[in-house]
């Protein structure tokens, strides 16, 4: 950032940022974070639900993203004292503060897809049950 002819930087979480945008992109950049945050925008969800809503993400990658988002304070994790244990993820207040950005990102992509892309149904092959031989 150049302010009054001086170059300023922000130190945050042990990193040095030269532009305000870099800070935000460090929290939401990458392939999956915006999508995971988006699916938590209006309700708590379990791991399996999120996995189902994001068919292309691997379990390992989803787990990694949730851990990172939790570490960054954007996502919370609620464990219910039940058997079997039930765990739900949700947006923290900090995560909710990103909703206007996420909404704008979703709107832009949706418009782009509608006006320039081709929308089609995805047919996934169901996993066949193992047959006993």
User: Counting contacts by CB under 8 A, is residue 124 touching a second copy?
Assistant: yes
* CA triple 61-65-66, angle to 5 deg: 120
d(CA 104, CA 47): 25
Of the two residues 30 and 48, which places its CB atom closer to a second copy in the complex? 30
Of the two residues 42 and 120, which places its CB atom closer to a second copy in the complex? 120
| The one among 44, 54, 68, 76 contacting a second copy by CB under 8 A | 54
Name the segment binding a second copy (CB under 8 A); options: 40-48, 49-57, 58-66, 84-92. 49-57
**DSSP state for residue 89 in the 8-state scheme:** E
Name the segment binding a second copy (CB under 8 A); options: 30-38, 60-68, 79-87, 125-133. 30-38
Residue 18's CB is within 10 A of a number of other CB atoms, namely 13
Least Cα distance to 69 among 19, 100, 35 occurs for: 35
**Footprint on residues 65-84 left by a second copy (CB under 8 A):** none
Q: Residue 80 to residues 46, 83, 89: CA-CA distances in angstroms?
A: 11, 9, 11
**Footprint on residues 94-123 left by a second copy (CB under 8 A):** 97-98, 100-102, 104-110, 112-113, 116-122
Of the two residues 83 and 118, which places its CB atom closer to a second copy in the complex? 118
User: Counting contacts by CB under 8 A, is residue 25 touching a second copy?
Assistant: yes
Of the two residues 124 and 130, which places its CB atom closer to a second copy in the complex? 124
d(CA 3, CA 60): 43
Q: How crowded is the C-beta side of 96, counted as CA atoms within 13 Å?
A: 9
């Amino acid at each position: 950032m150049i302010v009054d002819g001086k170059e300023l930087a922000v130190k945050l979480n042990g990193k040095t940022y030269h532009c305000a945008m870099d800070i935000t992109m460090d929290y939401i950049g990458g392939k999956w974070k915006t999508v995971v945050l988006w699916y938590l925008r209006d309700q708590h969800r379990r791991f399996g639900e999120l996995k189902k809503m994001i068919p292309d993400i691997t379990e390992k990658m989803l787990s990694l993203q949730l851990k990172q988002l939790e570490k960054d304070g954007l996502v919370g994790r609620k464990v219910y004292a039940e058997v079997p244990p039930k765990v739900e993820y949700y947006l923290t207040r900090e995560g909710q503060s990103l909703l206007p950005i996420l909404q704008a990102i979703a709107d832009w992509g949706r418009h782009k897809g509608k006006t320039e892309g081709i929308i089609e149904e995805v047919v996934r092959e169901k996993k066949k049950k193992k047959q006993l031989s």
